[in-house]
Amino acid sequence: ERQTLLFYKKRRYACQCGKKFAESNPFVDRYQRISVELNQAIKIRSIKGKTFKETAEVYGTSPSTVVRRFDHLAEATVNEEAKELPEVIAIDEYKGDTREGKYQLIIADG
């Protein structure tokens, strides 16, 4: 978990038919600028970390990137039954003692 910058020059090839293509590499997915390993680390930390903002600061990325990685992970793991809301939702706001704020919220299936 150290910040490392790699400058990789991807080789591009031209076929005799005129089609151009680039070599594939195992460490960066297509259309990405972040490595596969860093994406995995962000996904894990987005679940276990305190906030998306804190996770973004640790990995030197934006909070919206962390939220997108979290949403991608959640979409793959949430089953079809959990996508429907329950008939009754219980919402409770209570006073708590944290440094993030003095009010906290609980949402539960009634």
The two three-digit tokens of residue 14, written as one number: 């031209």
Residues 6+ apart with CB under 8 A from 21: 12, 13, 15
pTM: 0.62
| CA triple 62-33-69, angle to 5 deg | 50
Tell me the pLDDT band of 10, cut-offs 50, 70 and 90.
confident
Tens of pLDDT, residues 14-60: 999 999 988 888 888 888 888 898 899 999 999 888 899 999 999 88
Tens of pLDDT, residues 59-76: 889 999 999 999 988 888
Output the pLDDT for position 67: 95
Domain residue ranges of the chain, discontinuous segments joined by +: 12-83
